[in-house]
Amino acid sequence: MLILFENQITLLFILFIVALIAAIMDAIAGGGGLIVVPILLLLGLGPLETLGTNKLQAAFGTLTSSINYSRKLGYKNKGFIKLFITSLIASITGATFIVRVPTELLLQIIPVLLIAVAIFFAIQKDLNVLKESKLSFYPFLIFIVLISLYDSLIGPGAGSFYMIAFVALRGMHILEATLNTKIVNFASNFGSLIIFVLLGYVNYRIGIVMCAGQVIGSYIGSNLTLKKGSKIIKPTLITVSILMSLRLLFTS
């Protein structure tokens, strides 16, 4: 049951702004769920309905970012279909078993991983330099599966994990890594959303309003990234990773 506002339009407007801000942050460095999920829980949505509604609005955000990045940068990754399908199937699998899989252990491990993400990007002097690929494509898909499973089960930090995987394991330029991150993140959001819709765990009334905020925010955030590159991605990613780590550490 949602907390009642005297004016429900005020509530929907607040959620629109929340989604817009989360989308800007997510389009740059991931971590939008860090803002959205606690707000939805605070308003009285149940855990599964919160996750389902979050996936609805997040899917629209990552799709918008993917389209904008692809249009501006051009996308020539021959492994696109394999990356997309791998992430989609993994997220569908994870969402299907979400009510059965214990998350306590993951909640203890994730803050440590997020801190590692922050440290990795903090010590990199130049993220604009292409590095030699360190891992071939098919072994790399294993990491995409693991991150997509995590995204369907818990969520916060998935964008950061995708980003570090593409940069550190595939040696991608930071903007190319951002584009690939948004594409596979859309796949994992969409895969999870399919299951939540089938199970009836999506609040469409507030979800659709937040989708509008996500579309606008993702467009703004992706354009900022295209203009500023690593100058904005790096500090935002480090900040988001640390904030997510602190939140998970103090709430687990």
Are the C-beta atoms of 33 and 186 separated by less than 8 Å? no
pLDDT of the residue at 249: 64
pLDDT at 212: 97
Average pLDDT, the chain: 81
Domain boundaries of the chain, sorted by first residue: 9-251
Q: Give me 38's structure tokens.
A: 């606690």
pLDDT tens, position by position, 121-166? 666 665 555 455 578 888 999 999 999 988 887 776 788 789 888 9
Residue 149 structure tokens: 């499973």
H helices, E strands: number in the chain: 10, 0
Per-residue pLDDT, 37:
80
CA 21/CA 216 separation, integer angstroms:
10
Per residue in 35-72, pLDDT (tens digit) is 788 788 778 888 888 889 999 999 999 999 999 999 98
- Range in 80-89, 91-100, 194-203, 209-218 with the lowest mean pLDDT: 91-100
Please count the residues of the chain: 252
Q: Could you tell me which residue, 31 or 218, shows the higher pLDDT?
A: 218
The most confident of the ranges 76-80, 163-167, 192-196 is 192-196
- Max intra-chain CA distance, the chain: 58
- Predicted local confidence at residue 206, as pLDDT: 93
Q: Tally Cβ neighbours within 10 Å of residue 203.
A: 19
Produce one character per residue of 176-192: b if its CB has 16 or more CB atoms within 10 Å, e if not: bbbbbbbbbbbbbbbbb
Cβ neighbours of residue 115 closer than 8 Å, sequence gap 6 or more: 241, 242, 245
What local confidence, expressed as pLDDT, does residue 230 receive?
61
The C-alpha angle 40, 143, 75, rounded to 5 degrees, equals: 85
Question: Per-residue pLDDT for 245 more than 80?
Answer: no
What tokens were used for 180? 């690939």
C-alpha 138/C-alpha 83 separation (Å) is: 10
